[in-house]
Structure 1
């Protein structure tokens, strides 16, 4: 086996000795790594800035923009009650039937009321005949001299004639009331609308003042939008409103008609001792109260039914609120073209 030297066992020195005059080039890996790191940092910053801006816009949209999914279709319902009592002998409508104001809904047995009219009419004739007799007697007494009759007797006959005249007026009033009661046996609708939840039938007994039929007033529909109190600064009476009913694509248009000035609060009630009843709350959780806003319906697209209780999404002024203050401040600081004269006007418009 031949002898080997240290130079033969170590190839690295031999390689260095083989090229004594050549220098190794600098590696480019560190420079590329620095560029990739800078790119990653810049991309992270851009993404973070975009996320902050998106979060700000989303916050403003859900907190301050005047829109709500908590809307309800509302309507007035006429609970019709008879003004006279009696047995129902005829029902002229059926459930969910459209009716006009003045249409007869049902009829109460009119026999007793017809008898009352006949009796009252006879009483009027009786009183009128008695008045004629009393007037004739009084006229004869007034024509006599004081030799044939006394002044006191004249006054008595004149008074009797006045009493008979009053009795005639009373009988005539009773006759008018009897006729009105007879007309009231035909119970009519007080509004234009649709009969709902009809449960009565022929043979039921109608009681005076007790409602037994309901009619939805189709001329009274409106929308109640329940907006968080954080959105109320962007809602004014007269603002245009856009309403979308759940399940229907066409939108309704309307106008803000009024804003409720009060809602119920649990802390307003008194305890059994007359002391204020204050409920404990979590101080780090604050829920915005919802304020009812009444929307007058201006236009309903064809094919969209209005049903009380339907869920609606309400947008006031297109659901767009004013630009956030922080965004306006940022724009004023970044934009170099803003003139000094426009600055105070912009600040005044935001405040």
Structure 2
């Protein structure tokens, strides 16, 4: 009887364990389907190659490798002497050109006065010629009547011819004076060119000092003072620490419920006890296939764990982290991300 009771007890215990296991299995499947989780994730931050705008020798390297910097901090300085020399030459050219413009303007003013005087002379000569011609026309009919002598008529004709010649000479002089008036337009155009050269030289002088465009960390620094920095070659890399992300690779079957703004929980393998809140920033729209298909240039390549069975492709999901710990977050750190599609907030993380 005791053996039968003991056997019955073991039977119910087995059933209970089986039901518990089935329940836990259902719970795990439900949790996986409703809150996808992946340990195929890593920390990411935007980076830039720090490249000087101008070429020159580094005379002051103000940072070291793996140093944190603030926006506006001095990174390095190039030798400013050549840029300062070009600026000084351009400014001296402007001063010289301004003197030439001033002298040319004085000459133009004098030429304008001469031209004005010549035009006034033309007016006087024209009036005298008109008066002499009118006098001659009035005197010619009076000769036959004896009111005017032949000698007086000859003098009137001579005066008319003389004033006409003077008018022609005055008009020629006026045309010559007007043609002699040369403007300063060419010098003024040259002044604009010199001003542009000054602006360019000032900008190049400013570019000789390189400062941090944002808060970040200096990495891959492999040079020192005295190195010639080329405008086409990076000196080091700067990590933007103002925004931290986690790139989580999710199976394509898990993407249906993921949207930008979906709340996520992330922890880093470097310190699993600390969890961080985040939200989905964007979802990848393409990866390079690794099954022999044509390679799409520029797309992220996510390796599949199995190549002897058909497995779901994984796509990178970009997660923006809220309040990241600057001492823990490093580019490339392994991470684990859990998504909460049913608890998607409406408010995005402030930029």
Partner-residue secondary structure (3-state), 2:322:
strand
Aligned to 2:90: 120
Structure 1 residue 257 corresponds to structure 2 residue 227: no
2:270/2:333 contact within 8 Å kept: no
Partner-residue secondary structure (3-state), 1:150:
helix
1:69/1:313 contact within 8 Å kept: yes
More relative contact order, 1 or 2 (CA 8 Å, 6+ apart): 2
Aligned to 1:308: 331
Q: Per-residue deviation at 1:57?
A: 3.8
Structure 1 residues 113 and 304: alpha-carbon distance in aligned structure 2, compared to 1, 3 A threshold: closer
Partner-residue secondary structure (3-state), 1:299:
coil
Q: Per-residue deviation at 1:51?
A: 4.4
Aligned to 1:298: 322
Query: How many Å separate the matches in 2 of 1:256 and 1:224?
Result: 10
Query: How many Å separate the matches in 1 of 2:239 and 2:327?
Result: 17
Q: Per-residue deviation at 1:214?
A: 1.8
Match of 1:165 among 162, 180, 188: 188
Aligned to 1:228: 251
Q: Per-residue deviation at 1:116?
A: 0.9
Aligned to 1:130: 100
TM-superposition CA deviations, 1:197-228 (whole Å, max 9, x none)? 22111111111121112221110211111111
Q: Per-residue deviation at 1:241?
A: 1.0
1:72/1:225 contact within 8 Å kept: yes
Query: How many Å separate the matches in 2 of 1:155 and 1:211?
Result: 58
Partner-residue secondary structure (3-state), 2:108:
helix
1:237/1:258 contact within 8 Å kept: yes
Structure 1 residue 100 corresponds to structure 2 residue 123: no
Structure 1 residues 149 and 81: alpha-carbon distance in aligned structure 2, compared to 1, 3 A threshold: farther
1:191/1:215 contact within 8 Å kept: no
Query: How many Å separate the matches in 1 of 2:307 and 2:106?
Result: 92
TM-score normalised according to structure 1 size: 0.69
Aligned to 1:205: 228
Query: How many Å separate the matches in 2 of 1:227 and 1:181?
Result: 48
Query: How many Å separate the matches in 1 of 2:30 and 2:248?
Result: 19
Aligned to 1:89: 59
Structure 1 residues 64 and 265: alpha-carbon distance in aligned structure 2, compared to 1, 3 A threshold: farther
Q: Which runs of 5+ in 2 are unaligned?
A: 120-170, 296-305, 344-351
| Number of aligned residues | 278
Query: How many Å separate the matches in 2 of 1:262 and 1:289?
Result: 10
Structure 1 residue 269 corresponds to structure 2 residue 239: no
TM-superposition CA deviations, 1:278-332 (whole Å, max 9, x none)? xxxx99932111111111111236x852111111111111899xxxxxxxxxxxx
Structure 1 residues 113 and 285: alpha-carbon distance in aligned structure 2, compared to 1, 3 A threshold: same
Partner-residue secondary structure (3-state), 2:318:
strand
2:77/2:208 contact within 8 Å kept: yes
Q: Which runs of 5+ in 1 are unaligned?
A: 1-27, 271-281, 321-351
Query: How many Å separate the matches in 2 of 1:178 and 1:234?
Result: 56
Structure 1 residues 163 and 36: alpha-carbon distance in aligned structure 2, compared to 1, 3 A threshold: same
1:67/1:319 contact within 8 Å kept: no
Match of 1:150 among 175, 178, 181: 175
2:51/2:235 contact within 8 Å kept: yes
Aligned residue runs from structure 1 range 174-189, under 5 A: 174-189=197-212
2:53/2:231 contact within 8 Å kept: yes
Q: Per-residue deviation at 1:163?
A: 0.7
